[in-house]
Structure 1
Amino acid sequence: MNGFKNFILRGNLIDLAVAVIIGSAFGAVVTTFTNWLTALLPDTASKYFENTANSFGAFLNAVISFVLLAAIVYFFVVLPYTKAKEKYFPAEAPGTPADIALLEEIRDLLAAQATAAGGSTRPGTPPGGTSSV
């Protein structure tokens, strides 16, 4: 059961599900917008223009449905998932990355060598001990 919990809370599955849901809702918005826009263009195939039904209401309905669906997905899927992920997988304590720690150690060793050789330990000082600044 622990492995299944890790699989679900890993993140990829929930992100993919949210993307599919939001993508399909946005696809409906694009489709109804395109249908509405093309319905406004006159039909030049015939010499008579017929009165076409305005489908702006369908477009408005698709936009409202998209916003409602996005809010529902956020409040009932994304928000609880984020809280569960923080509970079961707490964020690592911010620390110094390994490469930065290694560079700091090298800096300290070089400063110790410069002090032992009688040079200056001031940053930016060339090996000769005099600064051109």
Structure 2
Amino acid sequence: MLKGFKDFLMRGNVVDLAVAVVIGSAFTAIVTAFTGGLIKPLINTIGGTDAAQGLGFRIFSSNPLTFLDFGAVINAAINFVLVAAVVYFVIVMPVKKLQERRKRGQEPGPSEPTDVELLIEIRDLLRAQNRREEDRG
């Protein structure tokens, strides 16, 4: 069972999909909380013309909507770098190492179905198709 699961993971674009899911979901929330709660306040201590809002300044001092928030841009860049680094070192790099070992023959690749397994699958599909046709007629 585990060998079949391992073969499934190594076929097609499963690794690419896993990377997309990791970036798009839970890990991004963790990194955002880290940078928003810890890094951005440190960046904001540098201050600007309006220390209450953080690192940046207002184009028009009478309009708070014209605040240019450099701290938020720096925070987003740090988010991106942290997420990309973790995904690379935790997912991409180990998969590349495994693929290299398979190319050298040190690790067996995904197993191909045997002729008997293919014939059984074809038989089962034909049976299911015949049952549907009998149910209609």
Do these two structures clear the TM 0.5 threshold for a shared fold by scoring above it?
A: no
TM-score normalised by the chain length of structure 2:
0.42
Q: Which has the higher contact order (CA 8 A, sep 6+)?
A: 2
* Pair member with larger Rg: 1
Q: Which has the higher strand share?
A: 2
What is the TM-score when the length of structure 1 is the normalising length?
A: 0.43
User: Going by fraction, where is helix more abundant, 1 or 2?
Assistant: 2
